[in-house]
Amino acid sequence: MPHGRDSVASEFARELFESQVSDGRTFLQIYPGFKWVFPNSGMLRSQRFDMELSQWFDMWSTEKPHEKEDMVRAGIEKAAASIIDLIKAEAKLVPLDHIILGGISQGSAVAIHSLLRSGLQVGAFIGFCTWLPLQDEVKKSRTSVRTPVFLAHNEDDEVISIENGRLMRETLHNIGLEVAWRTYETGGHWFNEPQGIDDIVAFLAECGVSSTC
């Protein structure tokens, strides 16, 4: 579960594990047998701000995440390669279809490229408050991956506009992926609670993921 820009794995994990479904349970309570993996992006210099930031790849603007996209390619390729290596390492311990890939914001943007580039058939993909970098290139591609995808976005997200999520959903659908799309009125640049968390649990159940796993 890659974290977002200007965050770190420990912060993302702590806040995610505080999120609750409608009956008050957390992910750790719902899925007591899960192994959770939260990679760290490390620090990368921002061209725009001329400083080191915790980010998976450099980008010019979150308001317009597709602006100046030529600068993101090298960073995405490097970050995706590290996530793919992590998936392959975990696949030595559990079946590939038992692995759930996902993330939030920039972390999810890296994760979806990792999925598409690897061709690995993991059990499910979850993306929240995110977008699809290099979208025009993805539009021209086809994928053999048939991993079910869950995408969700909040209408009041002031960091990554919901329109970016809609475009991502449309592009993934057009290249052959089955995408469950959910929107919520509130939640900002984070998981909607509790409905958004309820929906993730329901989606995973549809993918055959049991709370007793």
Q: What is the pLDDT of residues 42-89, one digit of tens each?
A: 999 999 999 999 999 999 999 899 999 888 999 999 999 999 999 999
Write b or e for each residue in 66-94: b if 16 or more Cβ atoms lie within 10 A of its Cβ, otherwise e. beebeebeebbeebbebbbebbeebeeee
Half-sphere exposure of 79 (CA within 13 A, CB side): 30
The pairs formed by 24-33 with CB atoms below 8 angstroms and a separation of 24 or more are: 27/197, 30/201, 30/211, 31/209, 31/211, 31/213, 32/211, 33/212, 33/213
Q: Residue 184 pairs with which residues in a beta bridge?
A: 154
Alpha-carbon distance of 53 to 66, in angstroms, equals 19
Tell me the pLDDT band of 211, cut-offs 50, 70 and 90.
Answer: low
Q: Residue 51 pairs with which residues in a beta bridge?
A: 46
| Domains delineated in the chain | 9-206 (3.40.50.1820)
pLDDT tens digits for range 112-162: 999 999 989 999 999 999 999 999 999 988 788 999 999 999 999 999 999
Q: ∠16-173-203 over CA atoms, to 5°?
A: 35
Alpha-carbon distance of 157 to 65, in angstroms, equals 14
Among 203, 71, 65, 53, CA closest to 127: 203
Instruction: Give the chain's radius of gyration (CA, Å).
Output: 16
Nearest 5°: phi and psi at 33?
A: -95, 0
Among 127, 48, 120, 29, CA closest to 83: 120
Strands (E), the chain: 43-46, 51-54, 100-104, 124-128, 149-154, 179-184
- pTM, 2 dp: 0.94
